[in-house]
Amino acid sequence: MNPEPAAPSPSSLARHRQNWQRKVRRCITKVRQGSEDWCEAQSEGLRAANRLANDLVLLKAFLLQSQSAVGGLEKSGGGELSGLRDAAVEKLRRRARIEAREVERAHEKLGQCLEVLTAGARDLKVGDTLAPLDEAAVRRLRAEQSVYWTLTPNSYLKKVEGVVRCYEKEYEAKTTVLSFLNDTVDALQSENIVPNDDLEDKLKVQLVAWMLEPELDLVSLQDLEDTFALEKGLCKQY
């Protein structure tokens, strides 16, 4: 029979704990940075989406309600205003394409934020490289040894993974919104497509979904921050 591995020495336990403290600090820094940058990108996308929605409403009004008025204006200009309606419609369609691209750029930034958040979780998944602890001892310490005060490495990982999962779900929801906006803008480039009330209602729903971020659990994010600050403070105090 193979002999039982020796119990970790006090110095090994101390090094292991310090190593996990470094990992948790790196993880929290990435989660904090990713969530802050997410808020900024989300706001950028919402502003662009609102401008897009306003232009589509203008386009609808122009095409459905202002044809006679614009036609009279074109005639009253003695020919100088000829083509005003077509020029205005084309400008609105062009602006809609630009605004859709701005939403897409914001969506790309959200993807980058999600990568930072995921990297934070990955920091806590990386195997312990400190020798000479064996694999069984490392697994036991991940589950039992506190990082600062009471929470173990596995406890921190569970909290961080919960935060990352809700951002992943919200990113998927925003991908759906972006797809709707792009499809709408593409369709409106056709002369035969005119915005209607149904499209306007659907657009409002997509904007609300982007703005409210129903998949995000900001309570769990704040709980992670508060727990980390409390445990770290207690460790320094005692």
pLDDT value, residue 161: 97
Full-model pTM:
0.88
pLDDT of residue 209: 96
For residue 33, being part of any structural domain is answered with yes
pLDDT of residue 32: 97
Q: What is the pLDDT of residues 157-177, one digit of tens each?
A: 999 999 999 999 999 999 999
Let me know how many helices (H) and strands (E) the chain has, helices first.
7, 0
Contact between 70 and 85 (Cβ < 8 Å): yes
Question: Residue 199 and residue 220: Cα distance in Å, rounded?
Answer: 36
**Which pLDDT does position 110 carry in this prediction?**
98
In a domain? residue 45 = yes
Number of folded domains that form the chain: 1
Specify the pLDDT at position 145.
Answer: 92
Using 50 as the pLDDT threshold, list the residues of the chain that sit under it. 81
Q: Is residue 40 part of a domain?
A: yes
Q: Which pair of structure tokens corresponds to residue 78?
A: 């003695």
Q: Do the domain assignments include residue 140?
A: no
Query: Does residue 169 sit within a domain?
Result: yes
- Answer whether 116's CB lies under 8 Å from 28's CB: no
Using the structure block, give the residue that is written with the tokens 């697994």: 139
Q: Please check whether residue 7 lies inside any domain of the structure.
A: no
Q: Which two tokens stand for residue 86?
A: 């077509």
Query: DSSP assignment, residue 147?
Result: S
Q: Which domain holds residue 97?
A: 23-130+161-227
Token digits for 160? Answer: 């961080």
220: amino acid identity, one letter: S
